[in-house]
């Protein structure tokens, strides 16, 4: 089983990564950890370093990948579509994503990458709150 785990540095994302690590360990699967950004910053490296530490603690040799997107409008729906493009291009079997509890207004304005991936019904998805 090949598992894609997009990370964004939130607590929900960290819980999702921990869940995906356990899932891969239990099922003998492999992980591909990816962080999407439109502009790498110091925070980007912090997110990747945290993921490296979690993977190393679990004795998983996967290296988190940084994907930089050039977009005019940066929103969760766009990120969700990029995740689906990665799934299609690489043939992943499963996606594990964190989802933070936004309010109704935030969700209506910004959307949710996790909801975009889930609603596409293109691949099994585990959403970790």
Please write the tens of the pLDDT for every residue from 51-79. 999 999 998 877 777 777 666 666 778 88
- pTM (2 decimals)? 0.84
Q: Pick out the chain residues at pLDDT < 50.
A: 105-110
The per-residue pLDDT for 28 is 86
Question: Which of these, 43, 47, 41, 46, lies nearest to 5 by C-alpha position?
Answer: 47
Which region holds residue 103: left if phi is over 0, alpha if psi is between -120 and 50, else beta? beta
Helices 42-57 and 11-27 cross at an angle (nearest 10°) of 30
The per-residue pLDDT for 36 is 84
The per-residue pLDDT for 113 is 85
């Amino acid at each position: 089983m090949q598992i894609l785990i997009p990370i964004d540095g939130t607590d929900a994302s960290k819980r999702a990564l921990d869940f995906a690590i356990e899932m891969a360990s239990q099922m003998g699967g492999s992980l591909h950890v990816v962080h999407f950004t439109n502009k790498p910053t110091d925070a980007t490296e912090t997110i990747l370093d945290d993921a490296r530490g979690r993977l190393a603690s679990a004795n998983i040799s996967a290296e988190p990948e940084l994907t930089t997107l050039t977009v005019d409008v940066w929103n969760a729906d766009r990120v969700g579509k990029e995740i689906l493009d990665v799934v299609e291009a690489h043939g992943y079997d499963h996606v594990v994503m964190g989802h933070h509890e936004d309010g109704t207004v935030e969700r209506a304005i910004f959307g949710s990458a996790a909801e975009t991936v889930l609603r596409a019904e293109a691949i099994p998805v585990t959403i970790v709150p």
